[in-house]
Structure 1
Amino acid sequence: MDKEHLNLLCSVNELSSLLAGSHDVDTFLDRVCQMVMDHIRADVCSIYLLDENSNELYMKANKGLNVTTVGMIRMGASEGLVGACLASRRPVCEGKASTNPNYKSFTGLNEEEFEAFLAVPIQRGLERIGVLVLQRREQDTFDEHDVLALQATASQLASAIENARILLALRAQDDTPDAVASVEMQLIKGQVASPGFAFHRSVRIERAADDWLYIPGNVSRTFDVEDFRQALAETEQQLEELESKLEVKLPEMASMIFSAHMMMLKDPEFTGAMEELIAQGSCASQAIRSIALKYVDIFHRSPNAYIREKTSDVKDLARRLMGNLMRTVVDACIACEGRIIIAHDLYPSDLLKLSNENVGGIILGNGGVTSHIAILARSMKIPMVISADARLSKIEYDTPILIDAEIGNIFIYPTPQVIKEFEERNQRRELVQEAEVLDETRTICGEKVQIMGNINLLSDLTQANQLKVEGVGLYRTEFPFLIRTDFPSESDQITIYHHLLESMEDRPVTFRTLDVGGDKALSYFHDMHMEENPVMGMRSIRFSLEFPDIFKEQIRAILCAASGHSHTRLMFPMITGIEEFIRARALVDETLAEMKADNVPHLARPQIGMMVEVPSVIPLIDDLAEMADFFCIGTNDFTQFMLAVDRNNEKVQSYFVPNHPCILRALNTIASAALSHGTDLSICGEMAHNLKHVPFLLGIGIRTLSVDSQYLPALQNGIGQISVADCEAHAAALLKEPTIDAINTFQSEFMAALKP
């Protein structure tokens, strides 16, 4: 790819600055056309958007043709070369466009002299958005490099242009305080979801409240148009600062997470309508409320699930505007920085925003310690405890709280003595953590045990490298999907995956393909919210096989990023039988063939394996061991399905027993099959980092553990004190026991001999 194409991709990656310099949506789209046209050296660049109501494509922006036709040119969604591109979801490249039978000319457009034609679809996941078109006077001048560059550009632009399309389409449409907690210290027991320590004051997040546009009754002044413009400028500056912080903390989200907010700030039908109401005599606060409520109502009534999700963007933006307008009157109610958050539940996107606001810790009233909101909190290093104790609902704003997210204790109004004890404990632990970590982990008898890292977000890589993990045993590719408001583009995914692989250098990296559904629903994918039992529904590999376009796009991104990284492995989640594995592998083969035909640099021979986490594969384990390059046992879901226990339901947490005799015997069956067939085997999940269970795992032949990297020092210390012979004898004893109590006794006795 030549320098100009690379420059284009760099420019696209800085869309936020492009948007910031645009006065409105139309200007933004015009600037996009100019940027693309300049870098690929085309004579014409056009953006066509899909009008879903009429099922027509219309020209929304153009550089190089008759500008008076912008907004006037319309065609059927499958009409002409532009429509053919959208209908097929594939690029259309013609050396002499007028000779193609699909060619359609428009009076007054004056495009006859531009024969070289290149169009690529703009799409977000399965949703069609529009078409990006380039034209040149000279025939046969677009090549495969132009196609690839324009595809990457359209992929990056999709989210921003979709937000613009929504705003343009809309133009055609017309509290009681909690009870005061006792000043005496209270101790509330909970479950550790994300380890750490936090001592801060509280703030509560309530989903159901309509206080996002609350206007205090004691405000004595009237806000005019100058106040509104000042609030508008401050809001824009805040969003730019938040995006900058996010680029450092969570690189996955650097691509336009706040684009919807910025689009609305630039839209004359949104903030412009507010200013018009103020000019007509309305108070600025009332104008914000009136227009925001109008948009919330329009979005909420939309049949489009993605547009309905945009109500949260409107509320968040209106809240910021109102807060900046009223200053301290409202700001004190919405500040989360350095606070202990109390909430009944949170979505991954909520946690993302809280992390960006540097919250101190979280107390969650719902969920389980193995839920993916807990896993995400660990990646973000946010201490989190889960507790449904009713006393938490009575805690007032600004109450001092100490979270001990090592054992799950919550102290309300902690005493000075309690605070001192915890500070001293943390100082001692920091000294221990500074102790040297060895390059390899070995048992006392010299047997090597490979400790790999579980990676959820790119921010995990710093600690993983500091603690010398030997590779990535599980990269949860779903997290960049979960923490966004729409599907990440192929280009976004390539960027993330390439960063991961470069960070690991020549160490192995295992990509688990998209594992969504269950407790990892995509908020912007409406079908996921319609199932009565989503844990057993359209999730994991079933989702990928049901939507092969999404699956193949991810596979393509992984293989493209892995060019030159031969230690890259692909792993399918929640395989329940041989047919699923064959179908998934066939889609990988199909993608490989397409990439080869398109001359796209890629990894030609990735290792392909599977998660072992569903009981149905146990009778088939020998057959699957013959087919798969490797197995990874996911103990969290495996335990859940084996024991019929919802791991996120606190009412049945006592039944979630990873050392249940049936679990241990099943693990032994899997390990035996892998060893006999020479299939590489690793294990991830809570069992892998729990020293109570590690001797058994080593005893049945497992030599690779994949864990959150923070657990590596303790694991290395514990493994260094045990021998393989002792582990094998320990495992043999556990496999003979039919009761949980007896197994617990054996494990306690074994652990008693280890030094902390």
Structure 2
Amino acid sequence: MTLAFQGIGIAPACSIALGPAFIDARGRVGAAHSSISSEQVPAEIARFDLAVTAARRALQRVRAQIPRNTPVKVAEFIDAHLLMLEDAALVDEVRRIVADERCNAEWALQIHGDTLVEVFEQMDDPYLRTRRDDIEHVVHQIQTHLRDDAPHTRLEEQDLQGVVVVARDLTPADAILLKHRGAAAFVTEFGGPMSHTAILARSLGVPAVMGIHEITRYLRSGEPLVVDGETGTVLAKADESTLEYYRQRLRAIEARQRRLRDIVDQPAKTRNGVLISLQANLELPEDVDIARANGISGVGLYRTEFLYMNRKDLPDEAEHLATYAALVADLDGIPLTIRTLDLGIDKRADGLSACGSGACNPALGLRALRLCLKEPALFRPQLRAILRAAALGPVRLMLPLVTNVQEIDTVLALLAELKRELHAQGLAYDDDLPVGAMIEVPAAALAARAIARRVDFLSIGTNDLAQYTLAVDRLDDSVNYLFDPIHPAILRLIRMIIDAGNGAGIAVSMCGEMAGDTRFTRLLLGMGLREFSMQPGAILDVKEILLQVDTEDLQRRTARLFTHLDDTHPARLLDTLNQD
């Protein structure tokens, strides 16, 4: 009888894999505490230092195996772990615990690692919260060498060609090894869609399913598995007819990928001649190449948080400008929308003021635009750099987490002041820099008409808009079943924002995950959305749909859908809309 396991699908663009299971026996066993004498402290610290050195050398070997044509950010994830192994916040503190508590290095490393993980778990931003995985991965790498795990338990010693690796967890370095050694897919008990390992799986094109708790207990090495990275399903003990069904699906996916490459250069125009702007969300400057390869018309969201992370100081105007100028040059005339800093006080760089109350809720506290307006020393260098970068090519400025029109007015006044400064200094800048508001708070959606009269464009951030409206953390396993981007309230807010932009005669884009989900493409087109910004890998999937549809027909059908929102769940109505 077929066994089905459900987890979180990671790589839908290359979603099906079949192969025998390889059970990764490496465990994240807890460290046992043992006391040592004061005379043993120097030797224990030296043992810890040797383990750190061994972990560093192992990562360097992995980095050396990365093919030259691999995206740059793949290597950067390994570099981040290498930097953590040099970080005094990790290494020196473990040494101190060994000396002060007179305990073994394994115990000192575990308790300090747990402390660092707890800090990241308190962060509001879902992407940054998953950085806890990096702490756990680096701690585990050092623990492996402290325990002197036998070589036969290490992935680099295994024949992984064509297998599905099933593990409790995998590090980014493991993901690279799996790809390098020919693994067909991987399945883990832990991890989520925003972890570094998941990001690497997508970049490397490795199908993966994460978050199937205890799966290593139910499978044995060698048994055939089916991994569906789109639905998050893993099948074991499948009969021959089921296996053949998935083989056919895999062949169809491969044929479809070849077909999608044929539409890269076609205009993104619907059947009735409406041109749609398909833009990319970028995390890092190195993402430009894959975005351009998929035929983007612009960058609808460029996140700047990476400039502030993994450092003790703040980036100055020169660093901001150099980064943005290089990106403008790489885009070579393709419009760029730069979102200003979207960090919170719970995930701050050194030098920022502390939160006024230890009990403040990070999700509702001092973050994003609120933080920037409170900390001019943080905000002004970035705004000056964006103004100057806009003199080099088409650049727009986007403000995150706007709540009211007063915030917009304050930013516009600050920009006017900075323009006067730049003019007095004889520095080139764009006096007509377009300024937009990211609508991701229900209050901003309800006030969208007033906001639209003050800005040049609106952008809908559906991830936070849904979370704030539904009071649901989509990364919380206990409540994320309530996260519903097509809840009637969400759909009405989205339509309200689009109508507000149209009424003011300004562009409205969507940069949340909903924009790149093909289940919603027809619905959004029918609601009047004409600018989509998404992960680069989703662009051709969305484009394939819009080439086939008539927006006038979709608008009529969507209008009928809205008349039944209170009577029928939108998912059922959506099925009808998506029928060709």
Normalised by the length of structure 1, the TM-score is 0.58
Larger Rg: 1
Distance in 2 (alpha carbons) for counterparts of 1:601 and 1:586? 19
1:689 maps onto 2:516 in alignment: yes
**Pick aligned residue for 2:504 from 677, 681, 704:** 677
Structure richer in strand, relative to its length: 1
User: What is the match of residue 572 of structure 1?
Assistant: 399
Which residue of 66, 69, 72 corresponds with 1:248? Answer: 72
1:42-95 CA-partner distances (Å, limit 9, x unpaired): xxxxxxxxxxxxxxxxxxxxxxxxxxxxxxxxxxxxxxxxxxxxxxxxxxxxxx
Deviation by residue 1:346-404 (Cα, 9 ceiling, x = unmatched): xxxx865555555644535576x6899967864665544354x6543635796765431
Specify the code of the residue in structure 2 equivalent to 1:639: A
- Partner residue in 2 for 1:123: none
Which residue identity is paired with 2:31? D
Aligned counterparts, 1:242-391, within 5 A: 245=66, 248-250=72-74, 258-259=82-83, 261-262=85-86, 315=139, 318-319=142-143, 322=146, 328=151, 331=154, 340=165, 342=167, 352-353=172-173, 355-358=175-178, 360-363=185-188, 365=190, 378=202, 381=205, 383-387=207-211, 391=214
**In the alignment, which of 487, 500, 509 is matched to residue 336 of structure 2?**
509
| CA-to-aligned-CA distance 1:157-183 (integer Å, 9 cap, x gap) | xxxxxxxxxxxxxxxxxxxxxxxxxxx
Deviations 1:196-226 (A, max 9, x none): 345563448877723899xxxxxxxxx9xxx
C-alpha displacement of 1:454: 1.8
Q: Deviations over 1:273-298 (max 9, x none)?
A: x9xxxxxxxxxxxxxx9567678889
The alpha-carbon deviation at position 728 of structure 1 amounts to 1.9
Match of 2:30 in 1: 209
**C-alpha separation between the residues in 2 aligned to 1:587 and 1:375?**
36
From 489, 493, 514, the equivalent of 1:666 is 493
CA distance in 1, matches of 2:374, 2:165: 41
What is aligned with 1:466? Answer: 293
Q: CA RMSD in A?
A: 5.0
Amino acid at match of 2:575: S
Tell me if the contact between 1:442 and 1:448 (Cα under 8 Å) persists in the aligned partners: yes
The answer to whether the aligner puts 1:189 opposite 2:6 as a matched pair is: yes
Which runs of structure 2 are paired with 1:490-569 in the superposition (5 Å)? 490=316, 496-517=323-344, 533-559=361-387, 562-565=390-393, 567-569=394-396
Tell me the distance in 2 between the aligned counterparts of 1:640 and 1:260: 32
Q: Distance in 1 between matches of 2:197 and 2:165?
A: 16
| Pick aligned residue for 2:230 from 381, 406, 417 | 406
Which runs of 5 or more structure 1 residues have no equivalent in the other structure? 1-183, 214-222, 275-288, 345-349
CA distance change for structure 1 residues 514 and 734 in 2, over 3 Å: closer, same or farther? Answer: same
Equivalent-residue separation in structure 2 for 1:611 and 1:695 (angstroms): 22
Q: 1:322–1:497: structure 2 CA closer, same or farther, 3 Å change rule?
A: farther
Query: How has the CA–CA distance of structure 1 residues 585 and 730 changed in structure 2, closer, same or farther, with 3 Å as cutoff?
Result: same
Q: 1:636 aligns with which of 460, 463, 482?
A: 463
- The CA deviation at 1:322 is 4.1
Structure-1 separation of matches of 2:30 and 2:417: 49
Task: Provide TM-score, normalisation by structure 2.
Answer: 0.73
Determine helix, strand or coil for the equivalent of 2:575: helix
Equivalent residue, structure 2, for 1:283: none
User: Shift of residue 674 of structure 1?
Assistant: 1.0
DSSP-derived class of the 1:582 partner = helix
Q: Deviations over 1:713-744 (max 9, x none)?
A: 23222222221221221222123224262644
Contact 2:137 / 2:171 at 8 angstroms: preserved in 1? Answer: no
CA distances 1:7-48 after superposition (whole Å, capped 9, x unpaired): xxxxxxxxxxxxxxxxxxxxxxxxxxxxxxxxxxxxxxxxxx
Equivalent residue letter for 2:30: A
Find the counterpart in structure 1 of residue 39 from structure 2: none
Q: Which amino acid aligns with 2:230?
A: E
Task: Give how far 1:594 is off.
Answer: 5.2
User: Amino acid of the residue matched to residue 537 of structure 1?
Assistant: G
**Aligned residue type for 1:680:** A
| Contact 2:93–2:112 under 8 Å retained in 1 | no
Report the Cα distance in structure 1 between the residues aligned to 2:307 and 2:172, rounded to whole angstroms.
Answer: 11
Distance (whole Å) between structure 2 residues aligned to residue 544 and residue 469 of structure 1: 30
Count of matched residue pairs? 528
Change (3 A) 1:729 1:552: same
Aligned partners of 1:444 and 1:723 also within 8 Å: yes
The alpha-carbon distance between structure 1 residues 552 and 256, as it changes in their structure 2 partners (threshold 3 A), is farther
Residue 710 of structure 1: how far off its partner (Å): 2.3
Match of 1:429 among 240, 253, 262: 253
Once residues 366 and 268 of structure 1 are traced to their aligned partners in structure 2, the CA distance between those partners, rounded to angstroms, is 28
- Shift in CA distance, 329/742, structure 1 to aligned 2, threshold 3 Å: closer
Aligned residue for 2:449, secondary structure, equals: helix
Query: CA contact under 8 A between 2:23 and 2:216: conserved in structure 1?
Result: no
2:560 is matched by which residue type in structure 1? A
Shift of 1:503: 3.0
3-state SS of 2:302 partner: strand
CA distance in 2, matches of 1:745, 1:735: 12
Please name the residue that 1:645 is paired with: 472
Sequence identity percentage:
24
Quickly say closer, same or farther: Cα 1:328–1:228, change in 2 above 3 A: farther
Question: Taking structure 1 as reference, are residues 365 and 320 closer, same or farther at Cα in structure 2, changes over 3 Å only?
Answer: closer
How far is the alpha carbon of 1:409 from its aligned partner?
0.5
Distance 1:363 1:504 in 2: 37
Secondary structure of residue in 2 paired with 1:448: coil
Aligned to 1:707: 534
In structure 2, what is the Cα distance between the partners aligned to 1:252 and 1:229? 24
Give the corresponding residue for 2:217: 394
1:162 corresponds in structure 2 to none
Q: Is the 8 A contact 2:498 2:529 kept in 1?
A: yes
Residue number in structure 2 paired with 1:452: 279
How far, CA to CA, are the matches of 2:576 and 2:110 in structure 1?
A: 60
Amino acid in structure 2 at the alignment position of 1:432: R
Specify whether residues 636 and 731 from structure 1 end up closer, same or farther in structure 2 by C-alpha distance, changes over 3 A only. same
Residue 374 to residue 233, structure 1, CA distance change in 2 (3 Å): closer
Task: For CA contacts below 8 A with separation 6 or more, give which structure has more relative contact order.
Answer: 2
Residue-by-residue CA offset, 1:611-645 (whole Å, 9 max, x unaligned): 11111123422221111111011122222222333
User: Within 2, Cα distance between the matches of 1:234 and 1:598?
Assistant: 52
> What is the DSSP-based 3-state SS (H/G/I as helix, E as strand, rest coil) of the residue aligned with 2:486?
coil
Partner of 1:728: 555
Structure 2: distance between partners of 1:582 and 1:507: 28
Counterpart of 1:286 in structure 2 is none
C-alpha distance 402-539 of structure 1, shift in aligned 2 (>3 A): farther
Deviation at 1:468, TM superposition (A): 0.6
Q: Contact 1:364–1:384 at 8 Å: present in 2 too?
A: no
Q: Is the 8 A contact 1:249 1:459 kept in 2?
A: yes
1:123-167 residue CA offsets vs partner (Å, 9 max, x unmatched): xxxxxxxxxxxxxxxxxxxxxxxxxxxxxxxxxxxxxxxxxxxxx
